[in-house]
Amino acid sequence: MTEVTEVTGLACRREGTGAPVLFLHGHWLARDWTPLHEALARRFDLIAPAAPGFGDSPRPAWVTGRDDVVLAFRDLLDALGVERAHLVGYGLGGWLAADFAIWSPDQVASLSVLAPFGLRVPDHPIADVFIMNPAVYDDAYFNGEPVDGAVPGPGTPAQGGAEAYAARYGDMGMAAALMWDFRYDLKLERRLPRLGVPALVLEAEQDRIVPVEHTARWADLLDAKRTAVPGGHAFPLTSPGQTAAHITAFIQGVQ
């Protein structure tokens, strides 16, 4: 049984052997070890931290923006003795993974972004996840086919109990601290093409949170392979096998 351990202040779960893969969660799922994690851990040394302020990771006073979160992830890899890792990020985690690659390219073997946040695409905004009515979660994230126990936002106290509600509310509060004022980074337009790392962009066939125009733009800027997975924005949960297969094939092709 793998224990969740504290490393440099971050709650982090690590399983598997092989090439190191740093998996960065989005604005939700910070506490979850999902079937996608399980599938990736069968192929790789999977490192899945909860970002500062998310899950069981405390938020130090010095963490005020995405750059500080990236520094925390760098410290984590250093503490684990990992010199270079493949980065995989979902949603907000995709944005953070790109930031990591921009600021620490020597530590990045490849970059895989899953329905990433971070770009501004005129006339095609990402859904405002902070004002979304819990009544539309199932439709917006799962296209009407929800996964039991998966709540994309704070939801209501009735969904998992008051303790789970408080935890989800805290996660969304930290997500807001990272992207409330700036829902996108205009500098990504210039910085992503300069990365020069192998990249993969995964999108949902019918994403109602991140419009397809965003993943198309990410692929253009990164000169990356772009692949669609069945389902909605929650495709890492609803199609974990296919998602893992695409990520695995890509990373193995890079090695």
Compute the half-sphere exposure of residue 241: CA atoms within 13 Å on the CB side of its CA.
0
Where are the alpha helices (H) located in 21-155, listed in sequence order? Answer: 35-41, 66-80, 92-103, 137-142
User: CA 246, 249, 250 angle in degrees (round to 5)?
Assistant: 85
What is the Cα–Cα distance from 201 to 73, expressed in whole angstroms?
21
User: Which residue reads 């199609």 in tokens?
Assistant: 239
181 pLDDT above the threshold of 90: no
Average confidence (pLDDT) over 204-217:
98
- pTM of structure: 0.96
Q: Is the pLDDT of residue 131 over 80?
A: yes
CATH superfamily of 5-254: Alpha/Beta hydrolase fold, catalytic domain (3.40.50.1820)
Joined together, the tokens standing for residue 4 give 């969740």
Q: How many CB atoms lie within 10 A of CB 108?
A: 22
Chain segment 13-40, per-residue pLDDT in tens: 999 999 999 999 999 999 999 999 999 9
Give me the pLDDT at residue 3, please. Answer: 55
